[in-house]
Chain A
Amino acid sequence: MSIFFYCLAYAAVIAFVAIAAMRIMGYLKKPQHLRWELYPVAHESAERVEYGGSYLEKVDWWKDKYHSSIVGALKGFLEEALFLKATWEHNRPLWWRTYPFHVGLYLLLGGMGMTVLAAFGKMAGFEGFVIFCTCVTVFCNVVGFGGVLFGAVGLIQRRLCDAGLRKYTSNEHFFNLGLFGVYALLGLVLCLGYSAWDFALMGNAFIYGMLTFTAMDVAPLYALYLLIGFFMFFWVPYSFLGHLFMKYFTWHDIRWGDEPFISSNKLQNQLANNLNLPVSWRASHIKGDGVKTWAQIATEKQD
């Protein structure tokens, strides 16, 4: 039984990495898209970010080197990731529910990271480090479960009671929120049942077992908790919850993607390829036959 659990655990980790990689690669493999930026663009100069300006505000802008501030981009991204700034500004009632939910998830992820570190510490024989990691895990688990449970219940309530939101809430939303809610509830019950410290040690032992390929017995309730966790490893990257990592592209590559053609050879090559793609749109002003290229269609003489 415990071997089976460990196999599932490996499968869950592999599924997460594989599905996330597939989605990211799927995005990166797409042809270079048109510029579709929205201002403010966070990697502009601080002064321009303040009011939403761009390098296009300068005469002969192409004579300057294209500049993209990593610090600015990071600041813009962290503000959104850590504080859910857009939701705070534009959907406050939701923020009070979704913020604890997201912070709870971040903490649980952090707790998981600490559990992995503790397992490495144990392998290396650093007892003090293991204790430190376990202390952090206890904090992350308790606050994380609390946040996720509060957020999940709050979001379900909001989706049920807000008439506008209700129409847009599908079975999948309830399923997702229910899943996270049950997971967090089980986590809290286990923390109460075994003590938060012992619960963290169970996590340490499980991950240690995974890293050293030594299966250990798993209590039934803990097994259920793990099963839900494994499923989420597969489900998060598969479903719309994948925005967890795809948001990097929607913000960084699309919303802030202002790099001009003139400054990048790579862009120039990609765009040259695009113009050679075949078109098959059927309308009479295009008459794409799947052979004629964009370049040909865009330059052919009109009837």
Chain B
Amino acid sequence: MKSSQELTFKHVSSEDGQLCTLDVNKLRPMPVEYETYEWKPISDAQKDQYCCLLDDINVLLIPTPKTIAEEEEMVNRFLEGVRKLFTPENNWTCLAMLDTTMDYCAQCNSCSNACHLYEMSGEHEMYRPNFRSELFRRIYKQYVKKEPLAKWRYGDIDLNWKTVVRLAEMAYRCNLCRRCAQVCPIGIDNGLIARELRKLFSQEFGWSPRELHEKGTQLQLQVGSSTGMNSSVVQETVEFIDEDYVESTGYEFKTPWDVPNADILLIHNAGEMLAWPDNIAAFSLIFEAAGLSWTLSSEIAGYDSVNYGVFYDDVQAARVAIKHAQAAKKLGVKKIVIGECGHAHKALTVIADRILPKDLNIPRESCFPLLRDIVLGGRLKLDPSRNNFPVTLHDPCNLVRLMGVVKPQRDVLHAIAPMFREMTPHGVENYCCGGGSGFAIMTRNNINEWRMNITGRKKMEQIANAFSDCLDPSIKKYVCAPCSNCKGQIRELLQENNLLEKNGMQYGGLVELIVNAMTEVEPGFIKWEEE
């Protein structure tokens, strides 16, 4: 195994077995009591069956090639995939960004310190944003573009099957938060490279994490939701949620389904219905109290805004986006409003904007401006003193850095949460929660340890620092994370470390805080016990 100092590009193809490891006991201490998550050993059987060649984490579980012919086939197929990645037909979606990122990086490493993985791994070379990109760049220039004197100019890289599988796994050592791209003086995007590699391996080899593909986009396209809920199950679930929350809030409401020609089709991340029904209820309650014309849809994918395609596969992203738009078109709604889910926001408003054909390009907007207008427009009776506890806001990367929706959620918080305080840094300079790009829904093969030790560490540090003046458990405090995936990740950070009990830290969305302040609702919408 190679240490961070020893690790060079050459080792990616030359080393046998696991390339490197991280000593989790040397990670930066946290401002709150926080566990160290030892890597679970990889069993011999697993090593035999799968290519466990990079570090202690195995996202892709690529079967080990058994013969030289299989090894060669892997390399050839990879090269074929790279060639496709650089053709306008196969990659019109990202070719312009990919080409410039390949050709103009100055190797200045200004991007390194922007990356929370690099920082929180103790600046391990493997997790430097540019490590994966530069390796891919050198392979491309030497083997595909065949630039004159490429070996001399950039350094000779031996391309073999180990390089291929390690590169595939490296594509999943990134949250796709694009914080590195934001600081690049030239406009080069290491996050894009991670995603392009994921695409290559998914679209050419069919290698992708099962949580994103089989149990993600495929399930959603077939059944309607990546939760596995079909149309009737989802309607029943929401009906139960309505009943429960009418009873607990004392406020009469009913979530409307399939209302033709409604003004708004609201699409939730369906995961909320199972994990955070209070979020679903809060939306319904607010929209009903504000007197909006709105509906949910029971069409395939029309009730689940998730689009994991944006994390790994353009074709899947396009398929899911089209389903969303078709559901809206069928109902004849005026617009789609996306609930509290960051990647769904970006997928349907920004990415789908250049995928959907004209007849499906139905206006789509974020729920946050609408919520801001409802709250500031006086359409609800609110008592901010009900939220008289410290609140901080997590900015989902997809919503903020990648979409520019920054202020509406803050306007709401300033109006309803008297003890609101920002994290440092925040807004478009925020750090990813650590669950970004699909990690929030993966736990196997040391991915949970990876999230807890490395990817989520910076966010946990930020949260603890935002509450540094009130860490006492008797003071209840709230991390507002208006995104399902971020909420899932923050839940793990807090619950696994028992931080509600130890430091009084609770988490939830924005709508829950709004309802908590509504005077027409029984006090105590936000619960401070572990459910």
Q: Is B514 an interface residue (CB 8 A)?
A: no
| Interface pairs (24), CB distance under 8 Å | A30-B95, A33-B354, A34-B354, A36-B192, A56-B349, A56-B365, A56-B403, A57-B406, A57-B408, A59-B370, A61-B369, A91-B108, A164-B109, A165-B107, A168-B130, A170-B153, A246-B103, A247-B186, A249-B96, A251-B187, A253-B96, A260-B353, A295-B357, A302-B222
Contacts of B103 in A (CB 8 A): 240, 242, 246
User: In the bound complex, how far is the Cα of B346 from the Cα of A38, in angstroms?
Assistant: 12
Stretch binding the partner chain, chosen from B14-22, B63-71, B82-90, B488-496: B82-90
Closest partner residue, chain A, to B404 (CB atom): A54
A contact residues vs B (CB 8 Å cutoff): 26-27, 30-41, 44, 48, 51-62, 80, 84-87, 89-91, 94, 98, 163-165, 167-173, 175, 240, 242-243, 246-247, 249-251, 253-255, 258, 260-262, 267-268, 271-272, 274-275, 277-286, 288, 294-295, 297-299, 302
Contacts of B163-185 to chain A: CB distance below 8 A: 178, 181-185
A56 touches B404 (CB 8 A): yes
B314 nearest CB neighbor, chain A only: A34
In the complex, the chain A residue whose C-beta lies closest to that of B346 is A35
Task: Choose among B95, B186, B402, B406 the residue that contacts A33 (Cβ–Cβ < 8 A).
Answer: B95
Given A27-B96, A302-B218, 19 new contacts (CB under 8 A): A36-B189, A38-B182, A51-B428, A56-B349, A57-B407, A59-B373, A60-B365, A86-B110, A87-B110, A91-B113, A164-B109, A168-B134, A171-B153, A242-B104, A261-B356, A261-B358, A277-B92, A281-B203, A283-B206
Judging by beta carbons under 8 Å apart, are B427 and A51 in contact? Answer: yes
Closest chain A residue to B318, Cβ basis: A298
B187 pairs with A52, CB closer than 8 A: no
Measured between alpha carbons, how far is A267 from B356 in the docked complex, in Å?
A: 12
In the complex, what residues of A have CB within 8 A of residue B361's CB?
261-262
- In the docked arrangement, what's the CA distance between A61 and B405, Å? 12
Contact A54:B427 (CB < 8 A) given known A283-B205, A285-B316: no
Q: A91 with B110: in contact, given A39-B428, A57-B407, A242-B104 (CB under 8 Å)? A: yes
User: Are B203 and A170 interface neighbours, CB within 8 A?
Assistant: no
Measured CB to CB, the closest approach of chain B to A278, in angstroms, equals 5
- Check B104–A267 contact: CB distance below 8 A: no
Task: Produce 1/0 per residue, B321-362, CB < 8 A to A.
Answer: 010000000000001000000000000011101111110010
Please, which residues of chain B bring their CB within 8 A of the CB of A268? Answer: 358
Q: In the complex, A296→B9 CA distance in Å?
A: 40
Measured in the bound complex, the distance between the Cα atoms of B428 and A91 in whole Å is 19
Closest residue of A by beta carbon distance from B408: A57
Chain B interface residue count, Cβ-Cβ cutoff 8 angstroms: 92
Cβ contacts under 8 Å, A62 to chain B: 363
- Chain B residues with a Cβ under 8 A of chain A: 5, 8-9, 77, 80, 84, 88-90, 92-97, 99-100, 103-114, 123, 125, 128, 130, 134, 152-155, 178, 181-189, 192, 202-206, 213, 218, 221-222, 315-316, 318-319, 322, 335, 349-351, 353-358, 361, 363, 365-366, 368-370, 373, 400-408, 427-428
Across the interface, which residues of B come within 8 angstroms of A98, CB to CB?
A: 108
Q: Which chain A residues lie closer than 8 Å to B113 at the CB level? A: 90-91
A33, chain B: closest CB distance, angstroms: 4
Q: Which single member of A26, A41, A90, A243 contacts B110 (CB below 8 Å)? A: A90
User: In the complex, which residues of chain A have a beta carbon less than 8 angstroms from the beta carbon of B365?
Assistant: 56, 59-61
Instruction: Give Cα A195–Cα B492 distance, bound, in whole angstroms.
Output: 71
In the complex, what distance in Å separates the CA atom of A251 from the CA atom of B152?
Answer: 30
A251's nearest neighbour on chain B, judged by CB, is B187
CB distance from A188 to the nearest CB of B (A): 25
**B99 x A167 contact (CB < 8 A):** no
Please give me the residue from chain A that is nearest to B203 by CB atom: A281
Known: A34-B355, A163-B5. A281 touches B84 (CB 8 A): yes
**Neighbouring B residues of A281 by C-beta, 8 Å:** 84, 90, 203-204, 315
Could you say which of A41, A52, A274 contacts B427, with CB atoms under 8 Å apart? A52
Centre residue among B187, B203, B222, B407 by max chain A CB count within 10 A: B187
The complex places the Cα of A175 from the Cα of B370 at a distance, in Å, of 56
Q: Which of B84, B109, B152 has the most CB of A within 10 A?
A: B109
A208 to chain B, nearest CB (A): 35
A38 to B361, CA, bound (A): 22
B residues within 8 A CB of A285?
206, 213, 218, 315-316
- Measured in the bound complex, the distance between the Cα atoms of B322 and A60 in whole Å is 21
Residues from chain B with a CB closer than 8 A to the CB of A163 are 5
Report the bound CA distance from A85 to B84 in whole Å: 36
Nearest CB of chain B from residue A148's CB, rounded to whole Å? 16
Closest 7 pairs between A and B when the two form their complex, measured CB to CB: A54-B404, A250-B187, A52-B428, A31-B92, A91-B110, A86-B185, A283-B206
Interface centre among A55, A57, A262 (most CB of B within 10 A): A57
The answer to whether B89 and A246 have CB atoms under 8 Å apart is no
Separation of A234 and B455 alpha carbons in the complex (Å): 44
Q: Which residue of A lies closest to B9 (CB)?
A: A167
User: Which B residues touch A39, using CB under 8 A?
Assistant: 400-404, 406, 428
Shortest beta-carbon distance from A249 to chain B in Å:
7
**Bound CA–CA A167/B9 (angstroms):** 8
Whether A32 lies near B404 (C-beta < 8 A) is: no
Bound: A94/B110 CA distance, A = 9
Name which residue of chain A comes closest to B326, CB basis.
A299
B353 contacts A35, CB within 8 Å? yes
Inter-chain contact B89/A279, CB cutoff 8 Å: yes
A75–B365 Cα distance when bound, in Å, is 29
User: CB-CB < 8 A to A44: which residues of B?
Assistant: 404
Q: Is the CB of A53 within 8 A of B404?
A: yes
Whether B221 pairs with A302 at a CB distance below 8 angstroms is yes
**Min distance, Cβ B433 to any Cβ of chain A, angstroms:** 18
Most chain-B Cβ atoms within 10 A of its Cβ — which of A34, A164, A258, A294?
A34
Within the complex, the shortest CB–CB distance from A90 to chain B, in Å, comes to: 4
The smallest beta-carbon distance between B362 and chain A, in angstroms, is 10
- A119 CA / B233 CA spacing, docked (Å): 81
Docked complex Cα distance between A33 and B407 (Å)? 28
> A173 contacts B107, CB within 8 Å?
yes
CA distance A26 to B96 in the complex (A): 9
Chain A residues near B354 (CB-CB < 8 A): 32-35, 261, 267, 271, 274
Cα distance A55–B404 in the bound complex, in angstroms: 8
Interface centre among B107, B155, B192, B349 (most CB of A within 10 A): B107
Whether the pair A60, B335 counts as a contact (CB closer than 8 A) is: yes
Chain A residues positioned under 8 Å from B401 (CB to CB): 38-39, 52
Question: Is B403 touching A54 in the complex (CB atoms < 8 A)?
Answer: yes
B283: shortest Cβ distance to chain A, in Å? 16
**Contact of A52 with B406 in the complex, beta carbons under 8 Å:** yes
Q: Report B-chain residues with C-beta under 8 Å of the C-beta of A277.
A: 88-90, 92
Which single residue of chain A is at the shortest CB-CB distance from B403?
A56
